[in-house]
Amino acid sequence: MRTASFGLMPFIKCDKLYLNDRKSILYLLSYGVINILSSTGFSLLKKSMYSALLLFFLVSSLLSSARAQDNIATYLPLPPGYSTIKVFDSQGRFVGRILPEKRYWVSIDRIPPFLQNAVVAIEDSRFYEHGGIDVRGIARALVKDVIKGKLAEGGSTITQQLIKIKFLSREKTIDRKLKEAQLAIEFETKYTKKQILEMYLNEIYYGNGAWGIAQAARLYFDKNPEDLTDSECSLLAGVPKAPARFNPLGKASRVTGRRDLVLNRMVELKMITRQQQIYLRAHPPSVVPRGQAPYYMAHIRNKLIERYGPGVIEQGGLEVTAALDLNLQKLAEQVLREGVKRISPQLQGALLCLDPNTGDVLAAVGGVDFEQSTYNRAFSAMRQPGSAIKPLIYAAALEKGFTPGSIWNDTPVAYNRGNNEIWRPLNYERKNYGELTLRQALAYSNNVITVKLLEAIGVPYFVDFAQKLGFTLRAHNDLSLALGTEEVTLNDLVLAYTPLANGGSRPESRTIIRIYDRNRSTWAEDPAAVTPVLSPATAFVTTQMLKDVMIYGTAKSLKKFSQERPSAGKTGTTDDYRDAWFIGYTPQMITGIWVGYDKPRPGGKGFTGGAVAAPIWGRFMRPALATKPAVDFPKPDTVVTVSIDPATGFLATTDCPAKRDEFYIEGTQPTEYCPRHGGDTLRPSSLSLPPPNANRQQPDTAGEGAQKAGKE
């Protein structure tokens, strides 16, 4: 054996013979340790110092005797009978658990003897024999260190590992190892073996954020430690060696291989029989899978705390039925992640999908990667909506008597803000297009006309109108509101659109449908809350205008989708291309998309809602609606359809070169015929609405949004 050259062969051969002969052990240790140190590159002073110190610790370990200490727990005791909060989707499918964050202490009598034995077998088989440091283990480690030429082997006992966790760094130096040995010996004089094992099992790391056996048993098996089976214990015992590799959620081959090593060692030490080993290998435990929908789960956690207080998570015992559709959630996570990363790996995004009739949050994704960032951009991030605010202004105008067929001009306009400051709203790419109907102005996201429209209805009126839709805007006379300068969350914006999708009612966002308290055997229902905020006619006519956005407007890339399913929506792009939005809906589902940088900065020309957010929306909505019938938005009795000349906004005559059927809130439709073209009137029909006159110059729909203020 080559290790003889290091002076350890006598020790290795005679260890068992002289185990109870302290003089012989000290002699052999002196001989072995000094020879090992002599073979290394240490200075004479260090060789002498380390030899003396190590021998002192070894002597102390042989002479130590422990006294039981009271109150070794460093955390509150784990309450008996605790159970986690479980979350299920609206179809009853298990989504995940909301785990307590606090660490709890478990006394040794609540830790299964099988787990205690398994840990001792695999980590420190001579635990009950040594006095804190294992002579044989140190010798073996020193041999390997010398062979490798570095401090690679620890040779640590359970006591030493505990010391390292509680008091020392993980650096591999002789100084640290000597300090570790000294403290381990001191620990053995203060605490019994059972106390040391109890502390170890409560302090060791088990991977995936689980510290101590209480958290590990809860995370991997949803149990208290005393309820663990032998099979579960054999899996957990192998984790501390390398938690990242051997935790029960790791690669199956590694985890089972480590489990088999634990069982083999237990058989060798006669802790279990060969038959028990065979049985345990044939009956592996069922590990609770990783939680799904992390952003959604985090939001539910916050909602529970809002309702019951922060102590509810630690109390546990709840079963939550969420409004979530797990299949839609998985689809949303995938589509958002792939869609955003396709543009830039540094970008972030959010997706929120609701049932517009109930407010049920069917899917919510607050970022592209929860492990990298837990910040929930769907509910918390405040960003400028840009042109995505415009449908609300047009809806407010409809309620004031304006119509989609009225003609407006986008000639430049300037506003005095005081202090010699002039503001000139600009269209995308600073272009102007002359006369447009309000329908066209919304489809093309014309900034100048929108500002003029807001001026016409009045900022205070719009602020009150927005308040009904759930928007709290600053009530000051600032026409820049027309360009989406007020910050909102994606959740706020999607909810503000829901009255347009469902006929005029605003639901509250609902993520929790009901809660069952297992401890009290009681149910708590959370009914949908819906409030009428718009006339059905206003909602319908605004929706008909927004259909054009997807046919020939700023989201015309979704034209094919809109032909397959009646749908409406609006893009949004903020100043300098910092934020890209698309909010779109059908009668059954409304979804909002936001894409941008967490620290706002320009995304570059072309970073628009139509080019960036709308395609992600389409890739999500197509499969999301695949099993639902294609239905149109119901037309209220208070809406009338008349044929108009889109160039003048008057009732069309037989001589008008272009005609289209337009929707009006009853009482606002035109009553005079087109003055440019005399002739007989046409009776209103139910023809589909064509795009505007192709001969007229059309605005560039590549982008839109809150443009630079044009200050002077």
Q: What is the pLDDT of residue 488?
A: 95
- Calculate the alpha carbon distances from 527 to 262, 360, 508, 514, 546 in Å: 52, 10, 10, 8, 30
| SS3 annotation, 539-578 | HHHHHHHHHHHHHCCCCHHHHHHHHHCCCEEEEEECHHHC
Q: What is the pLDDT of residue 145?
A: 56
Look up 123 and say whether it is catalytic: yes
Report the range of poorest mean pLDDT among 251-265, 420-434, 620-634: 420-434
User: What radius of gyration do the chain's Cα atoms show?
Assistant: 36
Going by DSSP bridges, is the β-strand pair 579-585/590-596 parallel, antiparallel, or unpaired? antiparallel
Q: What is the pLDDT of residue 15?
A: 37
- Catalytic annotation, pick one of 123, 203, 333, 704: 123
Q: What is the pLDDT of residue 472?
A: 86
What confidence tier does 17 reach under pLDDT thresholds 50, 70, 90?
very low
Q: What is the pLDDT of residue 69?
A: 61
**481 pLDDT above the threshold of 80:** yes
What confidence tier does 267 reach under pLDDT thresholds 50, 70, 90?
very high
The predicted-structure confidence for 555-572, as pLDDT tens digits, reads as follows 999 999 999 999 999 999
Top-confidence residue, 466 or 29: 466
- Calculate the alpha carbon distances from 187 to 5, 196, 203 in Å: 35, 8, 15
Domains in the chain, please, with CATH? 1-63+127-195 (no CATH), 205-291 (1.10.3810.10)
On whether the CB atoms of residues 339 and 615 are closer than 8 A, the answer is: yes
Q: What is the pLDDT of residue 474?
A: 74
Q: Is 525 exposed, middle or buried (0-12, 13-18, 19+ CB in 10 A)?
A: exposed
Burial 653-664, CB ≥16 within 10 A → b, else e: beebebbbbbbb
Short-list 564, 569, 605, CA closest to 584 = 569
What confidence tier does 135 reach under pLDDT thresholds 50, 70, 90?
confident
**103 pLDDT above the threshold of 60:** yes
Short-list 541, 590, 564, 535, CA closest to 388 = 590
- Catalytic annotation, pick one of 61, 156, 231, 387: 387
The predicted-structure confidence for 489-501, as pLDDT tens digits, reads as follows 999 999 999 999 9
Note the pTM of the prediction, 2 decimals: 0.84
Top-confidence residue, 228 or 677: 228
Mean pLDDT for 113-117 is: 98
Q: What is the pLDDT of residue 691?
A: 47
| SS3 annotation, 316-378 | CCEEEEECCCHHHHHHHHHHHHHHHHHHCCCCEEEEEEECCCCCEEEEEECCCCCCCCCCCCC
What confidence tier does 180 reach under pLDDT thresholds 50, 70, 90?
confident
How high does pLDDT run on average in the chain? 86
Burial 699-712, CB ≥16 within 10 A → b, else e: bebebbbbbebeee
The predicted-structure confidence for 489-543, as pLDDT tens digits, reads as follows 999 999 999 999 999 999 999 999 999 999 899 999 999 999 999 999 999 999 9
Phi, psi of 190 (to 5 degrees): -100, -30
Rounded Cα distance, 258 and 260, in Å: 5
What confidence tier does 417 reach under pLDDT thresholds 50, 70, 90?
confident
What is the separation of C-alpha 291 from the centre of its chain, rounded to a whole number of angstroms? 11
For 322, residues 6+ apart whose C-beta sits below 8 A from its C-beta are 87, 88, 89, 90, 95, 296, 300, 511, 512, 513
Q: What is the pLDDT of residue 133?
A: 87
Short-list 595, 279, 544, CA closest to 394 = 544
Q: What is the pLDDT of residue 700?
A: 47
What confidence tier does 693 reach under pLDDT thresholds 50, 70, 90?
very low
Rounded Cα distance, 135 and 32, in Å: 11
Q: What is the pLDDT of residue 165?
A: 87
Top-confidence residue, 709 or 334: 334
**46 pLDDT above the threshold of 80:** no
The predicted-structure confidence for 320-377, as pLDDT tens digits, reads as follows 999 999 999 999 999 999 999 999 999 999 999 999 999 999 999 999 999 999 999 9
Helix (H) / strand (E) element for 162: namely: helix 158-167
| SS3 annotation, 475-509 | CCCCHHHHHCCCCECHHHHHHHHHHHHHCCEEECC
Beta strands in 590-687 (DSSP E): 590-596, 639-644, 660-665
Mean pLDDT for 78-88 is: 92
What confidence tier does 551 reach under pLDDT thresholds 50, 70, 90?
very high
Report the Cα–Cα distance between both ends of the chain, in Å, rounded.
Answer: 89
Q: What is the pLDDT of residue 475?
A: 59
Instruction: Provide the CB-side half-sphere exposure for 392 (13 A, CA).
Output: 33
| SS3 annotation, 581-617 | EEEEECCCCEEEEEEECCCCCCCCCCCCHHHHHHHHH
**308 pLDDT above the threshold of 70:** yes
The predicted-structure confidence for 190-226, as pLDDT tens digits, reads as follows 999 999 999 999 999 999 999 999 999 999 999 999 9
Find the angle CA(105)-CA(108)-CA(110) to the nearest 5 degrees. Answer: 80
Rounded Cα distance, 237 and 243, in Å: 11
- Calculate the alpha carbon distances from 93 to 5, 87, 221, 346, 362 in Å: 65, 9, 18, 33, 14
Percentage, residues of the chain above pLDDT 90: 72
Short-list 188, 209, 189, 185, CA closest to 197 = 188
Top-confidence residue, 382 or 169: 382
Q: Is 119 helix (H, G, I), strand (E, B) or coil?
A: helix
Short-list 376, 389, 307, 309, CA closest to 336 = 376
Going by DSSP bridges, is the β-strand pair 660-665/407-409 parallel, antiparallel, or unpaired? unpaired
- Of 97-101, 109-113, 182-186, 575-579, which one has max mean pLDDT? 109-113
Q: What is the pLDDT of residue 58?
A: 52
Q: What is the pLDDT of residue 196?
A: 95
Top-confidence residue, 75 or 575: 75
What confidence tier does 169 reach under pLDDT thresholds 50, 70, 90?
low
Mean pLDDT for 104-133 is: 95
Q: What is the pLDDT of residue 76?
A: 93
**122 pLDDT above the threshold of 50:** yes
* Encoded tokens for 359: 């407010």
For 458, residues 6+ apart whose C-beta sits below 8 A from its C-beta are none
What confidence tier does 5 reach under pLDDT thresholds 50, 70, 90?
very low
